[in-house]
């Protein structure tokens, strides 16, 4: 009898935890003013800025520090600032800093929340100005899309949901697995949303949006035939991204 009562209490507690997870997510959901999309947000813009600034030195260190050529850094800043000044990024609360990393092996670019944007020299040296603008427009899209804050909110939601399920029905592993799959799927959506925003920004700043297709070809060549299949990656396959990029170019009249 006592065991049955204990089981009922666990069920009730589990339900309450799950309900709390949903209430918290609903309370944190808002419309993104730059994309018009409803999304759960964990951080306000000032918190995003602080997190990005705090994390930036560590990210630079992981890639061998900053590239020691001030002429190239000035060129990088020029392209980035041109994109910001000619797009809705200029009306956002974020403060954009562009970091050219010394890494000559890893082909990569990424953005931290709040406006800290990075590119490795290994990718930078392969790009002309329009292509560089495409990469930076994409990364600015991640910032305005608030993808890091959304990812944190979704992670917190699934962690809380997993705890509730574990208490109530020992199903935490199943729920956690669903959460991980959802986060990966959202990651691919983030990339496509940032591609779309990046094309819009390129056109607004006077760059040739078709050069973003060439960027995809560069990325595809860099990963080679053994690249990770799309369904196992947080990034869509370059071929699929090209198709969506063409649609964005047509949509924005490029």
pLDDT of residue 182: 37
Q: How far apart are CA 76 and CA 204, in angstroms?
A: 18
Taking the domains of the chain in order of start, what are their residue ranges? Answer: 3-252
H helix runs in the chain, sequence order: 2-27, 45-62, 70-85, 121-124, 129-144, 147-169, 172-204, 211-223, 238-252
Q: How far apart are CA 150 and CA 35, in angstroms?
A: 13
7-53 pLDDT, tens digit per residue, is: 444 444 444 344 434 444 454 578 888 888 888 777 788 888 888 89
Give me the sign of the Cα torsion angle 230, 236, 239, 244.
Answer: positive
Q: How far apart are the first and last CA of the chain?
A: 71
| Burial zone of 216 (CB within 10 Å; 0-12 exposed, 13-18 middle, 19+ buried) | buried
Give the DSSP per-residue string, 141-161: HHHHTTHHHHHHHHHHHHHHH
Task: Collect the ranges in the chain with pLDDT lower than 50.
Answer: 2, 5, 7-25, 27, 157-158, 161, 164-165, 167-186, 228-234
């Amino acid at each position: 009898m006592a065991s049955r009562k204990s089981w009922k209490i666990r069920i009730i507690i589990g339900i309450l935890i799950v309900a709390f997870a949903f209430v918290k997510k609903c309370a944190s959901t808002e419309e993104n003013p730059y994309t018009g999309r409803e999304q759960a947000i964990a951080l306000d813009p000032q918190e995003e800025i602080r997190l990005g600034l705090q994390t930036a030195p560590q990210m630079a260190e992981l890639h061998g520090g900053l590239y020691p050529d001030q002429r190239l850094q000035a060129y990088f800043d020029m392209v980035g600032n041109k994109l910001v000044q000619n797009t809705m990024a200029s009306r956002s609360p974020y403060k954009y800093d562009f970091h050219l990393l010394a890494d000559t092996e890893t082909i990569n670019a990424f953005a931290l929340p709040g406006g800290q944007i990075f590119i490795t020299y290994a990718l930078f040296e392969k790009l002309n100005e329009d292509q560089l603008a495409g990469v930076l427009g994409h990364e600015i899209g991640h910032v305005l899309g608030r993808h890091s804050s959304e990812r944190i909110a979704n992670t917190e939601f699934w962690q809380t949901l997993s705890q509730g399920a574990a208490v109530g029905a020992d199903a935490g592993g199943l729920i956690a697995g669903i959460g991980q799959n959802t986060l990966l799927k959202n990651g691919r959506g983030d990339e496509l949303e940032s591609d779309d925003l990046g094309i819009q920004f390129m056109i607004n700043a006077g760059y040739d949006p078709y050069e973003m297709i060439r960027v995809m070809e560069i990325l595809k060549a860099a990963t080679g035939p053994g690249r990770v299949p799309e369904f196992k990656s947080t990034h869509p396959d370059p071929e699929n991204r090209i198709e969506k990029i063409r649609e964005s170019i047509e949509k924005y009249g490029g």
